[in-house]
Amino acid sequence: MSYLQHKWSEHERQSQPTRRYASQREFEADWIYTLRRRYRVSQEALAVMANVSVTTVQNWENPRSAKAIAEHNQERLRDIERDLWIKAHVTLLDPCPPYIKALYDLMSASKDDSARALADYLVTTLPEHDPGRARLLHWASLTHSIGEPGSVRARSLSEAALEALAGSDTQLSAAIENEILGSQFEDLLQLPQGEARVRQGTTLMRACERLFQRDRQPAYLWNALEVACRATLDTQSLFRLSQALVDTLGLDPVRHRIRTEASFDAARLVFDDAATRN
């Protein structure tokens, strides 16, 4: 089974897909377009990565194109997707312990089973109070989520990483914290609508709220609100976060941003309704 045919089969098995397609070819065209949009890659850049012409990429993204995507090109797209995922999720922050570099090398070489085995072993052996434990837990979550975004194991490790960072205020811990939140958000966007997306969104939203309570930085509240919008969480959450932003920043700047940025479309009606009542 070719790579995109496998992806199509996975989509067909979803009980609540984010979108329904008339054909596999339409699905493939949208998959490639979504890949480019998610990682902010132009058609020209993707053509260079895949060693094809820009016209070929344009044909891939045209659902009416009758020409099938060759299997060797599908294999290239698989490798490109993986490389882009790694670049979006991980950073070799200095100082970099040897075991983090080892995990990175295994993931880059597509040796996921070995990466997960090493990560799980390290998690069980590294002392609870080791200053590098939060970072290790984060990387362990990445070894699980690269093959299965939003998996239970990946989520539990990521949550444990955030908990291990509690009370730490070093520059490195702040960078690791932001990397964890960023990777959780990337995984959230790849999940189909349904219970898994809601669970992941709820976990990430609460993490952002906890960070706001700790640092009082409005950016965390904005992140929490965007997560609530993208994960299609309940209107009560949207209202609570919008009100917290108003209490922190005032009505006018919050109203302007919610009304003008597409990321907050889901909060717009809730916000306008609340503003009208007040």
Q: Any idea where the domains of the chain sit in the sequence?
A: 3-81, 90-214, 235-278
In tens, the pLDDT along 145-175 reads 887 876 889 888 988 888 887 767 677 777 7
Q: Tell me: cis bond preceding 95? Omega within 30 of 0 counts.
A: yes
C-alpha span between 47 and 43 (Å, rounded): 6
Helix (H, G, I), strand (E, B) or coil at 130: coil
DSSP 8-state secondary structure symbol assigned to residue 22: S
* Third-level CATH fold of 90-214: 1.25.40
Q: What's the pLDDT score for residue 16?
A: 72
Q: What's the pLDDT score for residue 51?
A: 95
> What is 3-81's CATH superfamily?
lambda repressor-like DNA-binding domains (1.10.260.40)
C-alpha span between 151 and 200 (Å, rounded): 9
Tokens of 21: 């397609």
Residues in the chain, pLDDT under 70: 150, 167, 169, 273-278
C-alpha span between 107 and 100 (Å, rounded): 11
Q: What's the pLDDT score for residue 211?
A: 80
User: Helix axis angle, 71-89 relative to 171-190, nearest 10°?
Assistant: 140
Show contacts of 207-212: CB within 8 Å, 24+ apart: 207/159, 207/162, 207/181, 208/181, 209/241, 210/162, 211/177, 211/181, 212/244
